[in-house]
Amino acid sequence: MIPSASENNHLKSDTFDSLMSPVNHQVEQTSDGQSDNSLASLTDSNRKNLKDAVRLPDREDPNEWIANNLFDFHKQICMLFGTISEFCNAQSCPKMTAGKKYEYWWSKGPDRRPVESCASDYIDHLLDWVQEQLDDEEVFPSLSVDKKFPKNFNIVCQTIARRLFRVYAHICHHHLNTVKNLKEEAHMNTSLKHFIYFIKEFDLVPENELEPLKDYIENLTSTESLETA
Ligand SMILES: [Zn+2]
């Protein structure tokens, strides 16, 4: 069902299907200007019980709920990466990695050839690509437009979620000290925890894709269990 990135745990490269848009190398869309307030507000509103927060509300359309959450997570991740982006460059992070075992390549060009890139370029491409999907009325129809979600909506959402996770994974592995110095650790952990509960609730990302943060996630979610017990 879910397109597999790679058989090899040491190298993950997406082979883009028809969902893939041409890669844009130039657009920088992360923003660090508003990160504090938005992330703080998320932390406050969801600290009590993130597991409940991700569940489909009564009478809510499931696709609409998933779409709204993906909009929010994309925004949060843009902000989060924006806060550390000046520390993530071709010198500090010449490859898009999540620890020593996992490296991601970006496919581009007519033949979808996977190419190595530095983490910041990869993440820029990734966030741009997600934005393009979210802006596409054929995939994410706005409420004001009388359109239905496409048949492949869930596959698109799985791809978006799988890719967004990689930004968390890179930041946790390679920029955690910066996040701590910026006093963003609690915000990031809450955002990640919320994201993990969300993707598990709707089965959007397979377990093997979460391997790069397996221990980190176990630690985060066990803390949540204690908090809500
Ligand atoms: Zn980096």
In degrees to the nearest 10, what's the CA dihedral of 98, 34, 21, 198?
60
- Model pTM score: 0.78
Residues with Cβ within 5 Å of ion ligand 1? 88, 93, 119, 174
pLDDT per residue as tens digits for the range 107-147: 877 788 888 899 999 999 999 999 999 999 999 998 766 77
Q: Which residue has the tokens 């492949």?
A: 152
Cα(115) to ligand 1 centroid in Å equals: 17
- The CATH architecture that domain 61-228 belongs to is Up-down Bundle (1.20)
Residues 67, 198: contact at Cβ < 8 Å? no
* Residue 39, pLDDT above cutoff 70: no
Task: Name the residue type at position 105.
Answer: W
Spans of all domains in the chain? 61-228
pLDDT per residue as tens digits for the range 168-184: 999 999 999 999 999 99
Cα(49) to ligand 1 centroid in Å equals: 31
Cα(134) to ligand 1 centroid in Å equals: 25
